[in-house]
Amino acid sequence: MEKNNKIYVAGHNGMVGSAIVRKLKKEGYKNIIVRTRQELDLIDQAKVEEFFYEERPEYVILAAAKVGGIEANIKYPTEFLMENLIIQCNVIRSAFNNKVTKLVFLGSSCIYPKNAKQPLKEEYLLSGCLEPTNEGYSIAKIAGLKACEFYNKQYGVNYISIMPCNLYGENDNFDLKSAHVIPALIRRIYEAKMNKIPFVEIWGGGNQYREFMYVDDMADAALFLMENYDESQFINVGTGKDVTIKELAETIKKVVGYEGKLKFDTTKPDGMFRKVLDVSRLDKKGWKYKTELYDGVVKTYNWYLNKIKSTKSYK
């Protein structure tokens, strides 16, 4: 990409999209196109097509998605399936209709089968049944990466798909009804500290393993792959390292300075026992993450504290 190319970042207000915009600006890209949901509802096919026709972006990074934690995915599988399918189809189709030079589609490591071998290699896709607790979201993301693959094969375009591990960081969602595990734990442990609550209850037994990557590292990887990757096969993006939820909770407890206890509710679902990506293909391309988990949690916690101070409350 040239510094003056038109780059459309879909979902720029979200955690991932905002990190990508920060990275593009830091690298000197001057022609970044964004639209809020109020300005452009990506569910509306006609509006999306009109936007692409008028703006003519040359590059597209598709970071817009309906996302949420395990509770939200269990409760609203229809919305996680349908909204993501519609957003992806509208953006990818309009990108093709308006001759976008290159598109980057951001997926999720939840696409892999529940009982797949660990670490998760790209070739394990569709080799078994999905994890039931996020099946709707997973199916949508699989459809998105397959759409990119099929467009490449049938029409000779250049659409790449990136599958990141669990992400966290600045501008994350801290709403307890829909948050992912790190922001949810940060908020709950912080509020327990401030309200002198003697314990924090956590879903599951705490022995399940997860891989986490700081969102600014993801943004760096996305730009690196935009410049250096042109294959139809999707590519994993992560740290290649995982921790148990119990270890994660203890890390957050230490960062927050909470002295109470952590109680794990084994009556609640754990999700997949382990989910860590094989990032050997990415390693061979020459990219590696920079932010270790503890440092990333510190950055995220400090951002949350600043958000609370600036808004007086954060819901």
> Which domains are seen in the chain, by residue range?
7-309 (3.40.50.720)
Burial of 85 (0-12, 13-18, 19+ CB in 10 A): middle
The answer to whether residues 277 and 120 touch, using CB atoms and an 8 Å cutoff, is: yes
pLDDT attached to residue 159: 98
Q: How confident is the model at residue 65 (pLDDT cuts 50, 70, 90)?
A: very high
Query: Is 285 annotated in some ligand binding site?
Result: no
Measured in degrees and rounded to the nearest 5, phi and psi for residue 36 equal -75, 170
pLDDT attached to residue 68: 86
Q: For residue 52, how many C-alpha atoms fall within 13 Å in the half-sphere facing its CB?
A: 24
pLDDT tops 70 at residue 69: yes
Q: How confident is the model at residue 199 (pLDDT cuts 50, 70, 90)?
A: very high
Query: Is 238 annotated in some ligand binding site?
Result: no
Residue among 263, 82, 71, 87 at smallest CA distance from 179: 71
pLDDT tops 70 at residue 150: yes
pLDDT tops 90 at residue 313: no
The reply to whether the predicted model has a pTM over 0.75 is yes
Query: Is 270 annotated in some ligand binding site?
Result: yes
Share of the chain above pLDDT 70, in %: 99
Q: What is d(CA 212, CA 36) in angstroms, rounded to the nearest whole number?
A: 27
Mean pLDDT of the chain: 96
pLDDT attached to residue 272: 78
Query: Is 188 annotated in some ligand binding site?
Result: yes
pLDDT tops 70 at residue 315: no
Share of the chain above pLDDT 90, in %: 91
Q: Which residues are catalytic?
A: 137
**207-260 pLDDT per residue, tens:** 999 999 999 999 999 999 999 999 999 999 999 999 999 999 999 999 999 999
pLDDT attached to residue 177: 85
Residue among 93, 26, 5, 18 at smallest CA distance from 63: 18
pLDDT attached to residue 235: 98
pLDDT tops 70 at residue 33: yes
pLDDT attached to residue 269: 83
pLDDT attached to residue 312: 65
Enumerate residues 6+ apart whose C-beta is below 8 A from 248.
Answer: 181, 182, 185, 210, 212, 293
Q: What is the mean pLDDT of residues 125-132?
A: 96
Handedness of CA 48, 49, 54, 60 (dihedral sign): positive
pLDDT tops 60 at residue 296: yes
Structure tokens of 260? 């109470």
Return the number of other C-beta atoms located less than 10 Å from residue 125's C-beta. 18
Structure tokens of 290? 């920079």
Determine which of 158-172, 204-218, 248-262, 269-283 has the lowest per-residue pLDDT on average: 269-283
How does 35-54 read in b/e, with b if 16+ C-beta sit within 10 Å? beeeebebeeeebbeebbee
Q: What is the mean pLDDT of residues 25-31?
A: 97
Enumerate residues 6+ apart whose C-beta is below 8 A from 242.
Answer: 209, 210, 211, 274, 275, 276
pLDDT attached to residue 125: 98
pLDDT attached to residue 271: 77
Structure tokens of 208? 């399940």
Query: Is 180 annotated in some ligand binding site?
Result: yes
Beta bridge partners of 265: 203
**71-126 pLDDT per residue, tens:** 889 999 999 999 999 999 999 999 999 999 999 999 999 999 999 999 999 999 99
Query: Is 106 annotated in some ligand binding site?
Result: yes
Q: What is the mean pLDDT of residues 176-198?
A: 95
Q: What is the mean pLDDT of residues 287-312?
A: 95
Query: Is 164 annotated in some ligand binding site?
Result: yes
